Amino acid sequence: MSEEIVIVEKDGPIAIVTLNRPDALNALSRALRSQIVKTFAELAEDETVRAVVLTGAGRAFTAGVDLKEAGESGFALGVDGGDIDISKALAAYPWPIVGAINGFAITGGFELALMCDVLLASENAKFADTHARVGIVPGWGLSQKLSRMIGTSRAKELSFTGNFLDAETAERWGLVNRVYKADELLPAAIKMAHEMASCDPVLLRKYKALIDDGFALPFGDAMKLEVKRSAEHAASVTAEGVEEARKAVTARGRGQNG
């Protein structure tokens, strides 16, 4: 029996999803992309899971699209059909996705990283956008997301040179939240995912949707969206419920400071 190219492990309300083509640096073949789409669709239906950690096996998060295969099937990745459209699949996933970037995240792999909600990196992580060097226009959001995360000038530097960005610089530029030693990355990502999953599940889903939906709008419209959804949610909130939640938050804060 062939080895699974995507491994899913459960840790309570957390799913750890590992891309498992280490000999190919987890290159995003059509088969792997199809399995990623299937995995996230299944996790979206799993009522026991409220956060995902996404990582890669071996030396790479993913080295990007399999260019030889893409040469045979086409390079317009942004118009992929539903069964291999990883951008659409991850955007539709309702719970937080923590990217644990263990190694190389190159071009399409960089784009996959940017589909996550939060990025944590190993000291071995390296990011590169080589689209301009290999002659492909990005189709999974990199040209728009990267500049919004690290600034237009820095994004242009990376995209126009194709140079590698090390983990420490990625943290300094705001691309990743934190950098860890290699053996500490996955435990840290799982811990953060558990912290996210411990929030009120209704609020967690609504908050992720509010941030993502607002991100796609002009600032003024996004502010109006927040007010609208806040008012809609307020109808379901009671003073007693807020007070109980406040007590729990205070107790948690004391525990973290103790």
Q: How far is CA 114 from CA 25, 202, 222, in A?
A: 18, 24, 21
The whole-number pLDDT of residue 23 equals 95
Q: What percent of the chain has pLDDT over 90?
A: 81
Which of the two residues, 250 and 212, has the higher pLDDT score? 212
The whole-number pLDDT of residue 106 equals 97
Domain boundaries, the chain: 6-197, 217-257
Looking at residue 247, its amino acid is K
Are 33 and 84 in contact, with CB atoms under 8 Å apart?
yes
Using one digit for the tens of pLDDT, what is the confidence trace for 57-106?
999 999 998 776 765 555 555 556 568 999 999 999 999 999 999 999 99
Residues 6+ apart with CB under 8 A from 193: 14, 51, 52, 53, 96, 98
Residues 6+ apart with CB under 8 A from 252: none
CA 29 to chain CA mean position, Å: 19
Using one digit for the tens of pLDDT, what is the confidence trace for 164-215?
999 999 999 999 999 999 999 999 999 999 999 999 999 999 999 999 999 9
Helix axes 142-150, 152-161, angle to 10 degrees: 130
Question: CA 204, 45, 192: angle at the middle one, nearest 5?
Answer: 40
Q: What is the mean pLDDT of the chain?
A: 91
Mean pLDDT of 25-30: 94
The whole-number pLDDT of residue 207 equals 97
The whole-number pLDDT of residue 1 equals 37
Neighbours of 251 (CB within 10 A): 10
CA 35 to chain CA mean position, Å: 16
The whole-number pLDDT of residue 45 equals 97
3-state secondary structure of 79: helix
The whole-number pLDDT of residue 141 equals 94
Using one digit for the tens of pLDDT, what is the confidence trace for 98-134?
999 999 999 999 999 999 999 999 999 999 999 999 9
Q: Could you tell me which residues are beta bridge partners of residue 101?
A: 121
The whole-number pLDDT of residue 168 equals 98
The whole-number pLDDT of residue 255 equals 65
6-197 is a CATH 3.90.226.10 domain = yes
3-state secondary structure of 140: coil
Question: CA 82, 55, 17: angle at the middle one, nearest 5?
Answer: 60
Edge to edge, what strands does the sheet with 165-166 contain?
A: 60-62, 104-106, 126-128, 165-166
The whole-number pLDDT of residue 235 equals 86
Q: Which of 20-29, 198-207, 243-252 has the lowest mean pLDDT?
A: 243-252
Among candidates 145, 179, 183, 186, which has minimal Cα distance to 165?
179
Using one digit for the tens of pLDDT, what is the confidence trace for 202-242?
999 999 999 999 999 999 999 999 999 999 998 887 766 66
